[in-house]
Structure 1
């Protein structure tokens, strides 16, 4: 009789501890954690960002940053931050937010019209992607690149046909240049 009572107590304590643990995991991963009023918010994470910078950007969008941090560490996102433009939808839970930041890089529409010089083109493009205008200008007017194409510096704007294109926000200057060439 005494052994049954101890066994029953141990089982009940185990169920209680398991229930508390399950509730904590559920709260951390699956309860809505957004606080903004719009339907969607966008986060721009630079290519060289670390997890602290991601947390800083997400701070105004989340109800509880600590549960997001816990979920991100458990899912190993904190060591694998990737740059790009990401959408956070109203009502998302921490699990969905981490999944979006892992694999939801959204392309941006890059548009330009008749820019007269590589410097003006670089300025226009830099307002739409992560690469800065100086890096873009250097990629556009790279003498080795121009020579490999058989162009002179005056022909540096040849591959840039005015239109709208889709690129990832974190596209580098040389990637942008090379893709416009194709």
Structure 2
């Protein structure tokens, strides 16, 4: 009788052990999810229980009777949970899941900057892809001591950023983001590009600022070098730029269809109808083609430009006031033809 009881106990222990082994080492706890990875985000400062809640919210609900002691034994259950974004393969077992979460692999994110108007827009875009919120980015970007330490002001900070796609760690801090932007800026402004800017009488920041005006005037890459040459002619001759996009920026009336006298008369440092030379900083993030247009401008004598008015987005150019008057007449005639005037 005793032998039968002992045998029964042994079999029970073996059964429990087999079940435990299967539950921990074999049974999948990460759902199949149609074969797709499950992305789990663990914010900085998360507790163990918060991580478990996050897993549950993503459909991952391991048996806590086995998971918790294994997590503790594998040094995963602790106060300072590793933050990160984890891409979990479907079908992972309890042990495999803990190994994945414990390794703290820093997942990357692609931060896409695409002609953002001002640095708060850059901050908002970075926050879409990275862990810190936009306020954290803006706060750093407005910190005058920090800006001074990296050689910028609030007006010139936008010249740091270039449109591109940047791979960064998901939990990169605002400081790390800025360090990456500085690195990319310095990489772009090679000695050759810096020398080309100098030939035009510009610093890299000034070339960027002028490029932002060129970009705002025309999206057509084909005429950007001509527009750049026109504004450089005006700068060299001491003629006010009189750029409509700068008046739009000064008035903060983005999206208007026509610039009126009240817009160009506004006393504002960014309004190039009122103040000669370049504005204190860029009015947008220019495309790389616009920057290259400023560095490699078309050589001509044009100092006037006027939209064609035929919905092409292109411009006619003139060397004098008489030619400009003719181009304005063409513009008006095209608007009338289209029923817009």
TM-score (norm 1): 0.83
In structure 2, what is the equivalent of residue 82 of structure 1?
82
Residue 171 of structure 1 is matched in structure 2 by: 172
SS across alignment from 1:146: helix
Q: 1:45 Cα shift?
A: 0.8
Q: What's the counterpart of residue 93 of structure 2?
A: 93
**2-side partners of 1:42 and 1:102: how far apart?**
15
Number of residue pairs matched?
Answer: 178
- The reply to whether residue 44 of structure 1 matches residue 34 of structure 2 is no
Counterparts of 1:143-158 in structure 2, within 5 Å, are 143-158=144-159
Higher strand share: 1
Q: Deviations over 1:94-124 (max 9, x none)?
A: 1111111122332111111111211111111
What's the CA shift for 1:170? 1.2
Distance 1:65 1:17 in 2: 19
Flag structure 1 segments of 5+ consecutive residues without an equivalent. 1-5
Contact 1:130 1:169 in 2 (8 A): yes
SS at match of 2:158: coil
Moved more, 119-128 or 68-77: 68-77
RMSD over aligned Cα atoms: 2.6
Q: Provide the residue aligned with 1:62 in structure 2.
A: 60
Q: Which has the higher contact order (CA 8 A, sep 6+)?
A: 1
Matching residue of 1:119: 120
Q: Distance in 1 between the 2:19 and 2:106 partners?
A: 31
Q: Check 1:64–1:148 CA distance in 2 against 1; reply closer, same or farther (3 A cut).
A: closer
Larger Rg: 2
Where in structure 2 are there 5+ consecutive unaligned residues?
A: 184-341
Q: 1:159 to 1:176 in 2, by over 3 A?
A: same
